[in-house]
Structure 1
């Protein structure tokens, strides 16, 4: 593999990292929308214990990063991959460029910390207002 093939792989991996990052953000945002709507609509699946724990842990991770001043590992990885690809600015394909622009916009860091914290608080409140439920194991006659 020559130098240009390696750069292409780094760029492709950076683009893939942005898509994964976007999927994570959409999981947190759309997940909360569906949980909220589902709680009022009586959808049982939004009370799935594993889903709700993963969802809560996801936003708490983001809040922790923001409060601690830690740059997201996916952002760090993407920047490193772009450097390895020889890119100084974002130069991916259309989808990756669009996803990147949706994820990263300019504001003071405190704005993001407040937004993440308020959203995390909303998720936590929803966790108690519409609590997740564990599936009960049904015992068979042989187990009794």
Structure 2
């Protein structure tokens, strides 16, 4: 039972991390210092997708599932198992990736514009 709880908690943390990768740049508009944390999260998130870096959360979930007597995630990984075909159709993977990248870039552009505006206010 505790392994099942750990596996489920890992899924929640994984989903929260993905949410932060997508929307954390907007949080940085209010909490300016978090932009570096968001940049690191984006680098990690995109690295797992583009380069194929293994995510330790997926390993933790698989370990807990195995100990709890459940099957591991398929080799395709967390996103493919929990999101692709469930939240969005399988044929839209590239579109979803492009939208996520656009949201991240938009949040960073907004962050830069806000920083620039704030610097101008300090000068005047």
Q: Where on the TM-score scale, by shorter chain, does this alignment land: which range? A: 0.5 to 0.7
1:20: which partner in 2? 13
Distance 1:73 1:116 in 2: 21
Higher helix share: 2
Alignment size in residue pairs: 106
TM-score, length-normalised on structure 2? 0.61
Matched with 2:120 is: none
If you compute each CA radius of gyration, which structure gives the higher value, 1 or 2? 1
2:100 aligned residue (119, 125, 132): 119
Cα distance in 2, alignment partners of residues 84 and 22 from structure 1? 22
Counterparts of 1:18 and 1:85, CA distance in 2: 15
Distance change in 2, residues 1:58/1:117 (3 Å): farther
Shift of 1:57: 1.8
**Correspondences of 1:4-83 after superposition (within 5 Å):** 8-32=1-25, 35=26, 46-83=29-66
Tell me the equivalent position of 2:67. 84
Q: Is the Cα–Cα contact under 8 Å of residues 62 and 72 in structure 2 kept in the other structure? A: no
Q: Which has the higher contact order (CA 8 A, sep 6+)?
A: 1
Asked if 2 retains the 8 angstrom alpha-carbon contact of 1:63 and 1:116, the reply is no
Give TM-score scaled by structure 1 length.
0.54
Q: Which ranges in structure 1 are unaligned for 5 or more consecutive residues?
A: 1-7, 39-44, 91-99, 134-144
Gaps of 5+ in 2: 74-78, 116-124
Contact 2:48 2:55 in 1 (8 A): yes
Query: Contact (CA 8 Å) 2:24, 2:38: kept in 1 or not?
Result: yes
